[in-house]
Amino acid sequence: MTTYNNTGLATGTQYFYRVRANNASGNNAYSNEANATTIVDQITSVSGPTTVNPGQNITVPVGYSAAGSRDVYAEFWSGDWSTFYVRNKVTVSAGTGTANVPLTIPSSVPVGSGYQYYCYSTVAGVPWSEGVPELAQANITVAAAGLPSPWVTSDIGSPGVAGSATHSSGTYTIRGSGADIWGTSDQFRYVRQPSSGNCSMTARVLTVQNTHAYAKSGVMIRESTAAGSKFALVNLTPGGGIEFLYRTATGGSCSFANVTGLVAPYWVRVTRTSNSFAAFYSSNGTSWTQLGTAQTISMSTAATIGMAVTSHNNPVLSTSTISNVTATP
């Protein structure tokens, strides 16, 4: 059998072929005509998940045809193209198929709708340029990942923009707006569960976004979800150290004790024994130092316990990450 390798052809072009035998006696008649069209570089489909969570690992299936070795990319963008979040690629050989491109949705992506995947291909090793084969998939929703039971989350005191909370591999990512946790009324994002009587809450605050020197992220025992509720809070700030804040009367003013010069990551703990509330902090989660003195708050036996984040810059969101969460409700 004789083979023929036809190289250097243009992509997306139809070519026609016929053959005939040749020997010392001369040429035979031509065969019937055959034709073939060369592959054109193209992104033929994008079918990524239509709902994703911040921090989630996903796969975006990208249909393609490739005239040679190609890098098939998937990117995640805001719907108005103003914000790029992440990209990844898979290298494929000539032919047609589906490239399953892995992406990790950043934990910083705000919950909302209208996001999109932008997918394209380039010659392997060559970056994007105008005119590359491309295709987008719009109307992607970023939804808050479910919190592990029994945790629930909501805004307290009607901040100017809604907060959110997600959980992944032991780390909570909490976004909260609000004027502050202070004065006679609070605004913040609260991740909580019910508590009854004596209880304690311990966590390691990994990060606190600096939306204000006194943005707050920490652990709280709170009588209710009312904006003016009694509470005890131990929190980190970007510029004010670690604070022990408390309100002893519903709708009353707050008081505090603090230690300056400490920043995240740090461990914090708040405890309740009867109506005595105490605050602690630690650099390693083993050796603890009490912050201020225990405070008496006449709080209902049925209360709440959890994590609180406020931006102290309404209506801007502050993002905090918290790990090593232990609640004894």
Instruction: Write down the architecture of domain 42-142 according to CATH.
Output: Sandwich (2.60)
Residue 68 has pLDDT above 70, yes or no: yes
Residue 133 has pLDDT above 70, yes or no: yes
pLDDT confidence bin for 107, thresholds 50/70/90: confident
Mean pLDDT of 228-255: 98
Residue 17: its pLDDT value, please?
78
Give Cα separations from 166 to 158, 179, 322 (angstroms). 20, 22, 11
Residue 11 has pLDDT above 80, yes or no: no
Domain boundaries, the chain: 42-142, 152-328
Contacts of residue 70, defined as CB under 8 A and 6 or more positions apart, other chains included, come to 41, 64, 91, 92, 94, 121, 122, 123, 124
Residue 39 has pLDDT above 80, yes or no: no
CA atoms within 13 A on the CB side of 199: 25
Residue 241 has pLDDT above 80, yes or no: yes
Q: Would you say domain 152-328 falls under CATH 1.10.10.10?
A: no
pLDDT digits (tens, 9 = 90+) for 152-210: 899 999 999 989 898 888 899 999 999 999 999 999 999 999 999 999 999 999 999 99
Tokens of residue 322, six digits:
């918290």
pLDDT digits (tens, 9 = 90+) for 290-308: 999 999 999 999 999 999 9
Contact criterion met (CB below 8 Å) for 297 and 290: no
DSSP state of 101: E
Residue 15: its pLDDT value, please?
80
Backbone angles phi, psi at 208, to 5 degrees: -135, 115
Dihedral over Cα of 224, 226, 229, 235: its sign: positive
Residue 1 has pLDDT above 70, yes or no: no
Mean pLDDT of 248-252: 98
pLDDT confidence bin for 21, thresholds 50/70/90: confident
Query: How far apart (Å, rounded) are the C-alpha atoms in residues 220 and 29?
Result: 92
Mean pLDDT of 39-59: 90
Contact criterion met (CB below 8 Å) for 119 and 43: yes
Contact criterion met (CB below 8 Å) for 311 and 238: no
Residue 240: its pLDDT value, please?
95
Mean pLDDT of 34-60: 88
Residue 5: its pLDDT value, please?
76
**Residue among 38, 97, 48 at smallest CA distance from 70:** 97
- Rounded to two decimals, the pTM is 0.61
Residue 220: its pLDDT value, please?
98
C-beta neighbour count of 86 within 10 angstroms? 13
Tokens of residue 257, six digits:
């004790």
